[in-house]
Every structure is written in structure tokens, then in C-alpha cells.
Amino acid sequence: MSRKEKGSRADLYERITEKIVADLENGVRPWVKPWSAGHQSGSVNRPLRHNGLPYQGINTLLLWSEAVARGFVSPYWMTFKQSVELGGHVRKGETGTTVVYAGSFSKTEIDANGDEVERGIAYLKTYTVFCADQIEELPSHYYTAADPTARPVERIENADRFFDNTGAVVRYGGDKAFYSPSSDHIQLPRPEFFKEMASFVAVRAHENLHWTAAPRRLNRDLSRYHKDRTDRAREELLVEIGSALICADLGIVPELEPRPDHASYLQSWLTVLGSDKRAIFTAAAHAQRAVAYLHGLQPQSETMGEAA
């Protein structure tokens, strides 16, 4: 990779991180931005590719943020070429939005002993997409807002089934929510203690995502969670993002008021993002992996697409 390409990739990490940091410094958690802005009257789903597959990871945050900032209604995004293939054309003067694709490939090298070894090399590509709101003459369904969400009671029942299907052990009682790695159980206050059931669902999603860290699941190391503020901030950042993704998938408006522990996490998140420009990418990738794991535990589940 040339020095120019490396510099361009580093600039991309920095630009996106700076955008996330700016939101956090203004007290806005970007992963709940669509709901807090009243976007689509609380009916928020994942941004969708031209073929209906949802965007994932960091791209979800980027496209949510852009849709809110520019008042887009359609959930569909596509490249210029894809719009042409669908019979449409991007309006003159419209500017696109940068999204990313992270991948890797193997390269054979000779080690110090003269043996051939395979080395994985990561790469990051960018491409530009446009919201259907910026494109004319597409098929009519691309201009439709997200489908109306189910009634609140139906949404809550659906969420309960989703989490019950994971098989996570939940114990109710007390006034704190947490996941205990030693006993592998989730502790939650009783549902009636929450101001509203959507808040209960968001907290349960949060703790279920911590639950995915266990060695026999996704094997994220939580051994230093209570000892190292940075490790704790990274884990909380990924489960915060993951909780917003799950709520979008379930049609639940997540808790918009920060939990009491968010104030203490905020500065830690800013510190982590300030010292590591890739931290938000890593957190979003781990969040996506954890969300996909929970979806994979659903009966007759369909694996979410491999869209970037």
C-alpha cells in the first residue's frame, strides 16, 4: 500500500471519529440520534441498500446521522451506478455520503526460517452512496418511509420473545441491571420499576449484549472490565451501539434519557476516541457481531445479509 493510500485511510478514520466526538461533546449519543430527532415519528429501521439488505456496523451510524441532518425520509441508499441500473438518476447538485467497506485478504510471505506463511492483510475501502430522496425516477417503493411499526404492546411482546429465545438466564430483583460473568446470568430490576416498557427493553438489550461476551459465545475479554476504565469504556461503547441496533430491528424506541452511568462513561468514551481513531470502527464491528449472534439464536432465523 502506498504512503498516500495509508494517509487517506488514516484521514478517513479521523474524519469519522471527529464527527462522532462532536456529537458526544454536545451530549448527543449518535446511536440514538434518529429517535431523539423525531425522525419518522419514532419509526426507525436500519438504513437499507438498494436490494433491501441492511447496512451494518459503522455505516449504520453514518447513514442514520446523515438522514437526520438532511431530513431524508426514505431508508434506501445506493451508489450512482446502482441508481442508473434501477432506471433512476441522481439530481444535479446532490452530494453523496461516504460509507466504508472493511475487508481482508491473505498474502503468502517467507518467514525468517525460509518457510511460506499466510499473513492476513486488512484493508478499508470507501464508496459514495445517495439516499433515494436524492434520486429521481426510481421504482415507487424506494420513496416510501419505513413501514409503520407494530402497536406498542405487540412490539414489547416481540422483544420479550427475542430475548427469551437467546436462552440467557435472567434474574429479577434489586435496583441495578448488570451481567455477571462468574454466574453467567443477567440481573434486572422488575419490569414494573421502569418508567416505560421501552426503557426496560433497551436495558435488557444492553445486558444481553454483555452476555454475548462469554468465552463459549463471542469470547470478548471482560477480565479487566472492573479494573481498567478504558476496557470498560470500550465494552460499554459497543453494547450501547448494539442496543440501538437491536431496538431498530425490533421497532422499539430506545431510552432517550441517559442511564445514570452514562455520565461517567461519556468522558471515558471521549478519551478512548481521542487516543484511538479506529475505536469507533472496532466498537461498531463488535456490536454488529454481537447483534448478529443474538439474531442467530432465534428459531428459523434468517442470517442478516453481509452488506457493509
What is the tens place of the pLDDT at every residue in 102-136?
Answer: 766 677 777 777 777 777 666 678 899 999 999 99
Range of the domain at 203: 3-296
Task: Give the integer Cα–Cα distance in Å for 105 and 244.
Answer: 31
CB 250 within 8 A of CB 158: yes
Task: Give the integer Cα–Cα distance in Å for 181 and 159.
Answer: 23
CB contact set of 274 (below 8 Å; sequence gap of 6+): 21
Indicate the pLDDT class of residue 303, thresholds 50, 70 and 90: very low
Verdict on whether the full-model pTM lies above 0.85: no
The segment with the largest mean pLDDT, out of 37-46, 64-73, 274-283, is 274-283
Dihedral sign for Cα 269, 274, 275, 277, please: positive
Cell matching residue 171? 434474574
Task: Give the integer Cα–Cα distance in Å for 63 and 160.
Answer: 28
Give the total number of structural domains in the chain.
Answer: 1
Question: Residue 176: which of 203, 144, 141, 137 has the closest Cα?
Answer: 203
CB 197 within 8 A of CB 157: no
Dihedral sign for Cα 80, 84, 90, 92, please: positive
* Unique residue bearing C-alpha cell 468522558: 267
Question: Residue 234: which of 254, 260, 213 has the closest Cα?
Answer: 213
Examine residue 304 and state whether it is found in any structural domain, yes or no: no
Examine residue 305 and state whether it is found in any structural domain, yes or no: no
With pLDDT > 90 as the criterion, what percentage of the chain qualifies?
A: 46
Examine residue 308 and state whether it is found in any structural domain, yes or no: no
At 179-192, the pLDDT tens digits run 999 999 999 999 88
Collapsing DSSP to helix, strand or coil, 175 comes out as coil
Residue 188 one-letter amino acid: L
Examine residue 15 and state whether it is found in any structural domain, yes or no: yes
More confident residue, 48 or 5: 48
Examine residue 301 and state whether it is found in any structural domain, yes or no: no
